[in-house]
Amino acid sequence: MTAPVLEISGVSKRFGSNLANDQISMTLAKGEVVAMLGENGAGKTTLMSILFGHYVPDSGRVLIDGQELPPGKPRAAIRAGIGMVHQHFSLAPNLTVLENVMTGTESLWQLRSGTDKARRKLKDISDRFGLTVDPDARLADLSVGEWQRVEILKALYNEARILVLDEPTAVLTNLEAEKLFSTLKDMAREGLSLIFISHKLDEVMAAADRIVVLRGGKKVAERLKSETNKAELAELMVGRRVARPVREASTPGDIVLEAAGVTVRSGGVDRLKQIDFRLRAGEVLGIIGVSGNGQSTLAQLLSGTAKRTAGDLLLFGSPVGDLDVATVVKAGIGRIPEDRNKEGVIGEMAIWENAILERLPQFSRHGLIDRAAGLRLARQIIDGFDVRGGEPTSRIRLLSGGNMQKLILGRNLIEHPRILLAAQPARGLDEGAVAAVHERILEARRQGTAVLLISEDLDEVMQLADRIQAIVNGRLSPPVSADQADARQLGLMMAGDWGQGSEVAHAL
């Protein structure tokens, strides 16, 4: 066997009382694709951040082609041929693609910028790997998938031989994810060595040659793809057998939220176009669609952060004017935003502070925050919703994505809301966290909460929803019963073919 291009040997890293990495060792060969699989908070990102020089390990070492890599020095990692594509992109939206790619590659003392040479090099890389993007386009004008291409191009421009991708499909549509993994396989055939961090079993089995599983900061298993399956990997990742909860038959109650002919216009464009829906107590209404078809606007409208330009909204049977956040919270509507980092929490604030964010009047006396009551609520959420990785006084940014999501869910469900708006509730979560979030949503349904589920995950919607409507180009299809629909029919509805759905709708 040839010597590995990368060797991680006995790496450990502790943050306070949290042992994020515990004596982890692994190798990577030339042209190999290794998936690093694990729950949210298993230590995957910490290990790769050590590899890239963002963190200094407490013990252990990293070797590239047999030579030890200086710890804590990203420039040394880049010079050694390591490129990293972060889950949260590190690009400047006000700069062009070419400017972003060139950033940091030229000396400040250089008299002239080598823009022409850089443009040619970027085009060669783009053509070679099929990563097409306009070098003169401004980042702010590009899609999320194109941002990711730019991150990869930047790493390849810096002569990366080892490419690390942290949760590369977390914000991509299914089609974008398929294209990405096709590109990664082409790169591996060209001799590039790849590590991608993931918790999605389907993409791990589709793309990886070898799989390394982390749990609780330890390496617990290593498997060739040909020697394992999704069921074994799920059990290795979580440490127990994982089963998704099953929706039980039920009889929904009264209509609690209704939209009739609602239109939302923004930036001169109708984001929602005369949509209609009815949401009943004790049911889950699923809104399914491909990203960018108006889901975000619908969530914003019902959360009180976007205004309608036409149509009527009825809340608990009474017409309502423009919703604002205070009205929404006061009405007993819980909200799980689609972007937990931007809209759900404030990273530098403590867990207890985030727990009371939306109900400050309940936790203040004479203009002062009741810290003790906030700490008690945070402890209730942590214990009741299995939030791991922090205490009530810990900064929430130290939590993994899954544990952050469980905190947001707990913050909303602990007082039994009458309506729950759940936008992409399981996005970016591992198998165990997905099962936990789904179980909580179905439990809220059993207790009479009306749930509006907005998701791009067809399996998720089919598992949780009682009725389903597709959103296409800002319009909502007629509803279909989840028990009478199949994946093919729903796929057609997501593509705008509503003929069959309309027939079913008449019976509902």
Distance CA 26, CA 34 (A): 10
Residue range 30-49, pLDDT digits in tens = 999 999 998 877 888 899 99
**483 contacts: CB under 8 Å, gap ≥ 6:** none
Identify the burial level of 12 via C-beta atoms within 10 angstroms of its C-beta, where 0-12 means exposed, 13-18 middle and 19 or more buried: middle
3-state DSSP assignment of residue 5: coil
Residue with tokens 């007082």: 415
Residue range 341-369: mean pLDDT, rounded: 88
Contact present, 8 and 51 (Cβ < 8 Å): yes
3-state helix/strand/coil string of 95-146: CEHHHHHHCCCCCCCCCCCCHHHHHHHHHHHHHHHCCCCCCCCEHHHCCHHH
State how far the Cα of 399 lies from the Cα of 347, in Å rounded to an integer. Answer: 9
The average pLDDT across 95-115 equals: 74
The C-alpha atoms of residue 147 and residue 134 are separated, in whole angstroms, by 11
Calculate the average pLDDT of the chain: 87
Residue 178 CA: distances (Å) to CA of 8, 129, 174, 182: 29, 15, 6, 6
Region 206-222: mean pLDDT is 93
Amino acid letter for position 232: E
State the pLDDT at residue 179.
80
Contact of 456 with 295, CB cutoff 8 Å: yes
Hey, is 431 helix, strand or coil? helix
- Which of 77-81, 353-357, 427-431 has the lowest average pLDDT? 427-431
Q: What is the pLDDT of residues 400-446, one digit of tens each?
A: 777 888 899 999 999 889 999 999 898 777 777 788 889 999 999 99
pLDDT of 502 over the 70 cut: no
Q: What percent of the chain has pLDDT over 70?
A: 94
User: What is the maximal distance between C-alpha atoms in the chain?
Assistant: 74
**Hey, how many other C-beta atoms are within 10 angstroms of the C-beta on 447?**
12
Mean pLDDT of 467-493: 91
**Sign of the four-CA dihedral 311, 315, 319, 323:** negative
pLDDT single digits (tens) 85-97: 876 677 888 899 9
At 486, the pLDDT band (50, 70, 90 cuts) reads confident
Predicted confidence at residue 111, as pLDDT, reads 52
Helix (H) or strand (E) holding 283, with range, is none
Could you give the domains of the chain? 6-238 (3.40.50.300), 255-506 (3.40.50.300)
Q: What is the pLDDT of residue 170?
A: 67
Average pLDDT over residues 178-186: 84
**Residues 6 or more apart in contact with residue 330 via CB below 8 angstroms:** none
